[in-house]
Amino acid sequence: MAIERTLSIIKPDAVAKNVIGKIYSRFETNGLKIIASKMVWLSAQEAGEFYAVHKERPFYKDLVAFMTSGPVMIQALEGEDAIAKNRDLMGATDPKKAEAGTIRADFATSIDANAVHGSDGPDTAKVEIGFFFPGMNVYSGR
Measured from the CB atom, the residue of 14 and 35 that comes closer to ligand IDP is 14
Angle, to 10 degrees, between the axis of helix 82-90 and the axis of helix 20-29? 130
d(CA 20, CA 10): 7
59 interacts with ligand IDP by CB under 6 A = yes
- Helix/strand/coil (H, E, C) string of 90-129? HCCCCHHHCCCCCHHHHHCCCCCCCCEEECCCHHHHHHHH
Measured from the CB atom, the residue of 55 and 134 that comes closer to ligand IDP is 55
Q: What three-state secondary structure class fits 64?
A: helix
CB of 68 to ligand IDP, least distance (A): 13
Measured from the CB atom, the residue of 41 and 59 that comes closer to ligand IDP is 59
Catalytic site positions? 117
Number of amino acids touching ligand IDP (CB under 6 A) = 9
Q: Which of 47, 63, 72, 74 binds ligand IDP (CB under 6 A)?
A: 63
Which positions from 102 through 121 interact with ligand IDP, judged by CB under 6 A? 111-112, 114, 117, 120
CA-closest candidate to residue 105, choices 85, 120, 91: 91
Interacting residues with ligand IDP (CB under 6 A):
54, 59, 63, 93, 111-112, 114, 117, 120
